[in-house]
Structure 1
Amino acid sequence: MTRTAVCIYAEADGGSRLVNLAIPLTRKVIAEDGTAHWEGIAPASIWGIASGDPNHATDWHPCGMAGLSITLEGEWEIEATDGTRRRLGPGDVLVMLDTTGTGHRSWPGGESRCLTMGVGFGEGVEDQMRALLAETLAAR
């Protein structure tokens, strides 16, 4: 099973693009003895929850590190250098792979604050996500 996420990535020319990316879901498994474990879980290196000011927009910038941005509350918009924009709301997941180049810009999508959870990819996960992105782009 998968879930569709928005992915921002850098192209060879330094520009950024947005694409839908089907990311695999993990699965909770209950053993016969009642203990639970997760299958398919990926390691994370860092995480945090940020509160976005509804009056603050960012200028062009690449992501500081590859990871996820998960919108918990409110809305915000992201724009790639090709002019494509996406509005992200509660439950939306952004896969951040534009760690080089011009990057993206973003701004609040409403009048209230926006809460997002940022999760930095752990060892090997960025490579897995870039491979998934390459497969997605090749299939277009």
Structure 2
Amino acid sequence: MAEHQRIFGTDGVRGVANADLTPELAFRVGRAAAVVLAHEVEAGRPIVVGRDTRVSGPMLEAALVAGICSAGRGVVLLGVLPTPAVALIARLVGAAAGAMISASHNPIADNGIKLFGADGFKLSDALEAEIESDIAADSGPRPT
């Protein structure tokens, strides 16, 4: 397997909003996550998306959702709520995954994207690496 740039840190993708974590990157994370999860979870199960109150949240949410939808996966927007709620809701409603847009305790200029599996737990390192590889290859399907 070819080397790829690390995008995921210990707790998702993080950085200064609109500098390190751009809408373009959020789109690519959303698309790649939807493509990779298509191998793990049957079609028809949406990805639930929540966010915190940071000013960059709506921008990143729109880009992430556009990426997910561009790969043919549905989305349920949960609005503003705490990170554990997204994980729990993903599990309880049988979602394909959950995504939380938040940088937790980090400075207000930062933001992040944390992904949860259908079980409500953080994605495995292997799945995160697969998502990173898909982002690097930029070869995911684009349904028409």
Q: TM-score when scaled to structure 1?
A: 0.32
- Please say which structure displays the higher CA radius of gyration: 1
